Structure 1
Amino acid sequence: MSKIVDFKCTYDNSIGINKEVTEKLDLQFPEAYKYWDSMALLAEELKKYDKANFCGLPFCHTVEGEALGGSINFGDENIGPRAKDYICASAQEILNLPEIDYSKGRISEVLKACKHLKDKGENVLLYISGPFTIMNVLIDPRHIFKIFRKDPDTMQAIFNKFEKELLRFVKEAQKAGVNMISYADSSGGLNILGPKFAEQTVEMFTYPLLKKIEEMINDETIVLLCPKTTFALIGTDKAVWKDVNLGEPVKYSEACIKVMGQAKFVGQMCIKDKEFELKNGIIKTINLL
Structure 2
Amino acid sequence: MGKIVDFQCTYDNAVGISGAVTEKLNLTFPDAYLHWDTMAKIALEIKRQEDVCFCELPFCHTLEAEAMGGIVNLGDALTGPRAKEYICETPEDILALPEIDYEKGRISETLKACKYLREQGENVVLLISGPFTILNVLMDARLVFRFMRKTPDKMQQVFDKFAEELLRFIEKAVDNQVNIISYADSSGGLNIIGPKNTEYMMENFTYPFLERAEKIVAGKAQIFLCPKISFALLGTEKMRWKDIPVEESMRYVDAALSVKEQAPIVGQMCIKNTGFRVQKEIKAVELV
Q: Number of matched residues?
A: 288
TM-score (norm 1): 0.98
CA distance in 2, matches of 1:96, 1:72: 19
Gaps of 5+ in 2: none
CA distance in 1, matches of 2:211, 2:167: 11
CA distance in 1, matches of 2:76, 2:124: 24
**Are positions 1:236 and 2:236 aligned together?**
yes
CA distance in 2, matches of 1:29, 1:128: 23
The Cα offsets for residues 40-59 of structure 1, whole Å up to 9 and x where unpaired, read as: 00000000000010000000
- For 1:283, the equivalent position in structure 2 comes to 282
- For 1:156, the equivalent position in structure 2 comes to 156
- For 2:256, the equivalent position in structure 1 comes to 256
TM-score (norm 2): 0.98
Cα offset, 1:200, TM superposition: 0.1
- For 2:6, the equivalent position in structure 1 comes to 6
Instruction: Confirm or deny: 8 A CA contact 1:7 1:231 kept in the other structure.
Output: yes
Residue type at the aligned position of 1:113? A
CA distance in 1, matches of 2:36, 2:59: 12
Cα offset, 1:35, TM superposition: 0.6
The Cα offsets for residues 148-201 of structure 1, whole Å up to 9 and x where unpaired, read as: 112211111011000000000000000000000000001011001111000001
Q: Which SS does the other structure have where 2:52 is aligned? A: coil
Residue type at the aligned position of 1:147? F
Query: What's the RMSD between the two structures over aligned residues?
Result: 1.0
Instruction: Confirm or deny: 8 A CA contact 2:256 2:263 kept in the other structure.
Output: no
The Cα offsets for residues 242-281 of structure 1, whole Å up to 9 and x where unpaired, read as: 0001131111121121121111110100010110111x22
- For 1:74, the equivalent position in structure 2 comes to 74
Instruction: Confirm or deny: 8 A CA contact 1:2 1:195 kept in the other structure.
Output: no
The Cα offsets for residues 214-264 of structure 1, whole Å up to 9 and x where unpaired, read as: 111131411000000000111101000000011311111211211211111
**Are positions 1:210 and 2:215 aligned together?**
no
Gaps of 5+ in 1: none
After TM superposition, the structure 1 = structure 2 runs for residues 1-289 of structure 1, keeping only pairs within 5 Å, are: 3-278=3-278, 280-289=279-288
CA distance in 2, matches of 1:104, 1:260: 32
CA distance in 2, matches of 1:15, 1:255: 25
CA distance in 2, matches of 1:42, 1:159: 32
Q: Which runs of 4+ in 1 moved over 6 A?
A: none
Instruction: Confirm or deny: 8 A CA contact 2:174 2:220 kept in the other structure.
Output: no
Instruction: Confirm or deny: 8 A CA contact 2:22 2:77 kept in the other structure.
Output: yes
Residue type at the aligned position of 1:39? M
Identity %: 56
CA distance in 2, matches of 1:192, 1:262: 33
Cα offset, 1:16, TM superposition: 2.5
Cα offset, 1:2, TM superposition: 5.3
